[in-house]
Each structure stands twice: as structure tokens, then as C-alpha cells.
Structure 1
């Protein structure tokens, strides 16, 4: 709630950040942010769909720990592949991004983690991934 994002370039005679801000905030919000140099606080960033969560300072660490625990339960190789997909597909067309993701999926489909997930599903239990 207390964290904020601010693009102050226009206040110091510069005009940077436009491409990045436009991509993540949309045209209208990017123009407001760049032209006005005003602060956008957590709740507003959350409403703008730029922040995934907005917490009080006291809730921040428990919320981060909960997310970390959720990620830790997932297949480590699949999380790594997802991270690689985010990094690799940025800027690609939808078609090319999808093709890259399919190579990731194909590579993972024969992994021990996938076999464990399928066994866990059949046995109605949580998967135990080893990496």
C-alpha cells in the first residue's frame, strides 16, 4: 500500500521510459504517468493490473512467503521452463511464442516430474518433485 512507482524524467528535462511504461501500463496510463510525473501507489497500481498484489507493510512478508511456498510445491523444472518462456517470448509474435512454448512442453512431457504428477493424480495425492 505504501510502495509507489513514479517516472520523474520530465521533472529533470528528460523523456525516458516511454516504451517500457506504455507496454506495461497501457497508452492512457503511460501518458498520465510520463507527462505528470506523479506517484502511483500500490492500490492504484493493483487496480491498473500492474501489481499482482497490494498488501499492508505488516502483510507483505507473510504474503511473499505464501507465494514462495506455492512456487516451491511446483515442479522445479517446469518453473524454470516457464521462466525461460517469459524471458524468451517477450517481443515475439503470438505464433512464435506459442511455438517456443510447445518446445518447452515437449521437452518436459517425458520428465520425471511429469511422470510423478501423473502418478500423484491417479493416486489422489500431492506430487513430490525431486530436483
Structure 2
């Protein structure tokens, strides 16, 4: 599939997905279709071990749903389904928030496993939908309280409060604030470090934690036990132990 609304590049096991509808990078039918496709590719790719999602230009990560494309909202893949797939992806996903992340853009950032934000006056995050008489429709009502707590989430959503990078960090909505000029460098450094971790073990942690949080402790423990058996018989486990004994850096292959 050729992409016209996103840019996808892969280098050294890191895939970068750039929403390419500047300045707002708002989500239209085209972005939904292309995101859905690339996530499907990444789910089985052996060439990708970590993913970065960011926005084109210097103003916006993503301003959410494109209201001018509302006629197509019921067409193509549903935003909820796409975001659920990103959240459940078997590779770690990093949001590099390089500008405003509002509405669906904030919801997209929340489904990523890590969130880095540029320290800029134009960089704000929030779910302002109530201002329009609607509510966050792509998971924000459920995910925000899990990240920042119920009372903070209610304050943000009911009052359409927008957070600066430092406020977002204090609330726990983002993991790190970095100078805007260094945002992609920092995101790439994190992704590269993650890409060198044993792929199967990383997948086991991501899947086990996701299942446990969504379906409960016992179901999560069941997944953990299954993965423990698989990992104990893997080549990566042999490599990890051998490298430890030989006092060298392991080279994991995801096998």
C-alpha cells in the first residue's frame, strides 16, 4: 500500500510513522486507513522492534479528528479499533509529541507505551471535546483516568483543560519533557535502546501487562506463565545466558 497521509520509514529496527497532514495533522479517513494498514504490517514484521509516532511540521503532533472530513467518519476502519491495535502492539510504541495533541491526537498519544513531549509554548495536550457538546470518542474517557487518576481526568475532560508540557509531566500524562529541537533525537535514542532488548521478552512483557490490565490479574498471570515456558526454550534465552557468562553484550534475534 502506498501512503499519502503518513510517512513510514524503518532504520536499524526502528520504524517511524509521521502523520503527514501539516500543520494540524488531523485524522481523516486516509490517515485511519493508512494507520490501520501499517499497524497490521508491524504486528508481524521482524524488521521492526520499536516504533515512533510523530507529526509532520513544527506546530502539531495531531489535532484530532478532521471535522471537515466528518462525512467519512463511519467509513473505513474505526478510530477505536486502530488505537486498540496500537495499544496492544507487540512492539513498544513511543509518541514524540512535537506540537499540540488535542482530542484524538491526545488519545493517540495515550495508546503509545511511552510519551515524550517537546518543551515549547505551542505544545499542549488535552481533550477539549466537551466544549463542542461532544465527548472524547476514541478511548480518552477510559484511558485518561488510568494514566492520571479519576479526579484529574474529570477535571481535564469536563473543563476541557489543556496542559503545558510541564503540567502534563506533573500529571503523569507524559514520561519526559525534552527541548523541542532534541525531541526526535531523544525518541530515537529510546527506540534504539528498546530495539536492542530481546524481542520475545519485550513482547511477553507488553502482552502480559496489556492482558492483565484489560482482563484482570489471573488472565494476565496465565499469559505470563505461557510466555515463561516459551522464553525458557528460546535461542534468545541461550544467547542471554551465554553472553552473561562470557561477559559480553548479547545479540538477540527474536528467536
TM-score between the two structures when normalised by the length of structure 1: 0.87
Pairs aligned (count)? 131
Alignment of 1:3-82 (within 5 A): 3-16=123-136, 17-82=140-205
User: CA 1:101/1:62 → structure 2, altered by over 3 Å: closer, same or farther?
Assistant: same
The match for 2:230 is 107
Greater fraction helix: 1
Q: How far apart in 1 are the matches of 2:218 and 2:212?
A: 10
TM-score between the two structures when normalised by the length of structure 2: 0.47
Contact 2:211 2:219 in 1 (8 A): no
Structure 1 runs not aligned, ≥5 long: none
Tell me by how many angstroms 1:37 deviates: 0.6
Tell me by how many angstroms 1:15 deviates: 3.4
Deviations 1:36-91 (A, max 9, x none): 11211222222222212111111211211211121121112222333333443331
Larger RCO, structure (CA 8 Å, separation 6 or more): 1
The match for 2:45 is none
The match for 2:217 is 94
Structure 1 residue 119 corresponds to structure 2 residue 119: no
Q: Out of 7-16 and 104-113, give the one that drifted further.
A: 7-16
Give the match's secondary structure for 2:189: helix
Tell me by how many angstroms 1:93 deviates: 1.6
Structure 2 runs not aligned, ≥5 long: 1-118
**Superposition RMSD in Å:** 1.8
Rg larger in 1 or in 2? 1
Q: How far apart in 1 are the matches of 2:231 and 2:175?
A: 27
Tell me by how many angstroms 1:94 deviates: 1.9
